[in-house]
């Protein structure tokens, strides 16, 4: 019977890890708790240990390659005589970086046990990797010997180029380096690959699930460095997602848009959010719910331009813009929020975000929005305006909710949390008065009746 070694999660935000080094070779005896390989994420290394006594039968992902968290990267067998058969079955995989399809095939072949058991092993693997139980026999290789590693295969490439090559399956040996002394640069990998592949990550900072108003008392250190997809002096090709966004942005130039803004007091909304947060409710779900409920009363703002006239969609579907860490953005859609309770809506949103991360959204989950939300509140911006996505009539830009000195109608002065929102709309179908009355009702709902957002 063979047991799988999985790519462990070194942090809650990690989606993939790099195999730095296999400390054991196929065929080597391993003891429970012994380090088998080293995985790296950013500047941190983690030893991955065997969760049982046996033999390392197969290495499915070679050192230097990158694998998603949870991916099978190696196989351990209990008895020495099983090594040969497992190796035989995994022949194709051991010499090259396997595709996940091949891996699936492998596990089907080698595992005679029911799926349930695989689950158990997964759990056990986790347990042993993460918890300390028994004394570990230490792995006595003199690591302080710089000359041991593979100096012979001197392919000179920048770390970013190597990462890209690993992700795109480009063979570094076949790439001509354009850098100093033939060093392979990120550009060379992109060129060699023709069409760059985009692996979507949800930007941590762009997470639409909160606005800073919700984190009362938690002062975040301002991040002074920005995101960049290339190095100074480089020109980086657009990835597929960025190209798609470019096309949409360009087509917006044909739409006569206007903007209208509103300042909304969020004191009550923030208090309500604090109460429901422990039940898994996200700020995104609250805002989506508020917008959808208001749109129900203002069908004009949910409409869009078509050649035949003003098109009124059958449903209210709210798209929410989410930035991808490697460029581009995607707009997962919460369908019919008025018919879904707040808790279910929050769960749906979390699921959409998770699946956006692993690029598993179905087309109708990101292309069926009738109205779009863009929230940059988490960066503390006081206002911005958004560009209208094609096929829709309006988009709402949501800024940060900030303590603001407010003059009240009775002449008193107080400090209230104020959030500026800014609606961009297609003037062919939505007029200033439509937008303004929509915002007035949205503000009323958020300022006075946030608890009605529950259902």
Residues at the site binding another protein, with contacts judged by CB under 8 A = 10-14, 18, 20-21, 35, 38, 40-47, 49, 129-132, 135-136, 138, 143-149, 151, 154, 156-159, 162, 179, 183, 205, 221, 223-228, 231
What's the min distance (Å) between Cβ of 128 and another protein?
9
Which CB atom, from 228 or from 271, has the smaller least distance to another protein?
Answer: 228
For 185, list phi and psi in degrees, rounded to 5.
-105, 165
Q: Do residues 316 and 292 lie in contact, with contact meaning Cβ atoms separated by under 8 Å?
A: yes
What distances in angstroms separate CA 40 from CA 155, 175, 325, 372, one per listed residue? 20, 25, 19, 38
What are the tokens at 98?
């396997």
Which CB atom, from 120 or from 149, has the smaller least distance to another protein?
Answer: 149
Which CB atom, from 189 or from 291, has the smaller least distance to another protein?
Answer: 189
What's the min distance (Å) between Cβ of 379 and another protein?
13
Gap between the Cα atoms of 19 and 67, Å rounded: 8
Gap between the Cα atoms of 161 and 167, Å rounded: 10
What's the min distance (Å) between Cβ of 227 and another protein?
6
Which CB atom, from 174 or from 221, has the smaller least distance to another protein?
Answer: 221
Which CB atom, from 155 or from 338, has the smaller least distance to another protein?
Answer: 155
Gap between the Cα atoms of 434 and 450, Å rounded: 22
CA 191 to chain centre: 26
What's the min distance (Å) between Cβ of 98 and another protein?
20
What's the min distance (Å) between Cβ of 147 and another protein?
6
| Residue 176 annotated in active site | no
Q: Which residues, in sequence order, are CB contacts of 405 under 8 Å at separation 6+?
A: 413, 414, 415
Residue carrying structure tokens 């230490």:
138
Which CB atom, from 20 or from 197, has the smaller least distance to another protein?
Answer: 20
What's the min distance (Å) between Cβ of 307 and another protein?
44
Closest CA to 391 of 299, 295, 307: 307
What's the min distance (Å) between Cβ of 187 and another protein?
13
Gap between the Cα atoms of 326 and 353, Å rounded: 15
Q: Out of 3, 176, 298, 427, which one is annotated catalytic?
A: 427
CA 441 to chain centre: 33
What's the min distance (Å) between Cβ of 354 and another protein?
17
Which CB atom, from 40 or from 341, has the smaller least distance to another protein?
Answer: 40
Which CB atom, from 35 or from 375, has the smaller least distance to another protein?
Answer: 35
Catalytic residues: 427
């Amino acid at each position: 019977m063979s047991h799988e070694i999985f790519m462990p999660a070194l942090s809650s935000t990690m989606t993939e890890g790099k195999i730095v080094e296999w400390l054991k070779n196929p065929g080597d005896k391993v003891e429970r708790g012994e380090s088998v390989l080293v995985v790296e994420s950013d500047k941190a290394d983690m030893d991955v240990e065997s969760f049982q006594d046996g033999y390392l039968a197969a290495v499915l992902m070679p050192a230097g390659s990158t694998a998603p968290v949870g991916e099978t990267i190696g196989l351990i067998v209990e008895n020495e005589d099983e090594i040969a058969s497992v190796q035989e079955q995994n022949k194709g995989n051991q010499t090259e970086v396997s595709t996940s399809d091949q891996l699936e095939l492998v596990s089907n072949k080698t595992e005679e046990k029911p799926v349930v058991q695989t689950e158990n092993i997964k759990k056990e693997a986790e347990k042993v990797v993460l918890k300390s139980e028994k004394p570990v026999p230490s792995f006595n290789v003199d690591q302080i010997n710089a000359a041991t590693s593979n100096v012979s295969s001197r392919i000179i490439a920048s770390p970013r180029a190597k990462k890209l090559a690993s992700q795109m399956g480009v063979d570094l040996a076949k790439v001509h380096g354009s850098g100093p002394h033939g060093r392979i640069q990120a550009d060379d990998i992109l060129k060699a690959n023709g069409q760059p592949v985009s692996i979507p990550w949800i930007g941590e900072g762009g997470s639409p699930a909160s606005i800073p108003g919700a984190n009362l008392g938690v002062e975040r250190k301002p991040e002074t460095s920005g995101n960049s997809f290339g190095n100074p002096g480089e020109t980086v090709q657009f990835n597929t997602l960025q190209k798609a966004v470019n096309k949409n942005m360009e087509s917006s130039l044909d739409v006569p848009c206007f903007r209208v803004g509103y300042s909304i007091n969020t004191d009550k909304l923030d208090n309500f959010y604090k109460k429901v947060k422990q039940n898994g409710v996200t700020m995104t779900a609250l805002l989506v719910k508020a917008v959808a409920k208001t749109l129900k009363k203002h069908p004009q703002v949910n409409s869009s331009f078509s050649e035949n006239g003003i098109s009124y969609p059958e449903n209210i579907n709210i798209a929410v813009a989410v930035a991808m860490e490697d460029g581009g953005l995607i707009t997962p859609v919460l369908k019919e929020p008025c018919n879904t309770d707040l808790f279910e809506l929050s769960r749906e949103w979390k699921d959409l975000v998770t699946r956006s991360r692993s690029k598993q959204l179905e087309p109708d989950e990101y292309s069926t929005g009738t109205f779009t939300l863009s929230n940059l509140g988490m960066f503390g911006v006081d206002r911005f305006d958004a560009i209208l996505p094609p096929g829709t009539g309006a988009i709402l830009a949501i800024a940060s909710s900030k303590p603001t000195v407010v003059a009240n109608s009775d002449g008193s002065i107080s400090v209230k949390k104020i959030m500026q929102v800014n609606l961009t709309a297609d003037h062919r179908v939505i007029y200033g008065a439509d937008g303004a009355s929509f915002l007035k009702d949205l503000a009323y709902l958020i300022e006075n009746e946030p608890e009605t957002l529950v259902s």
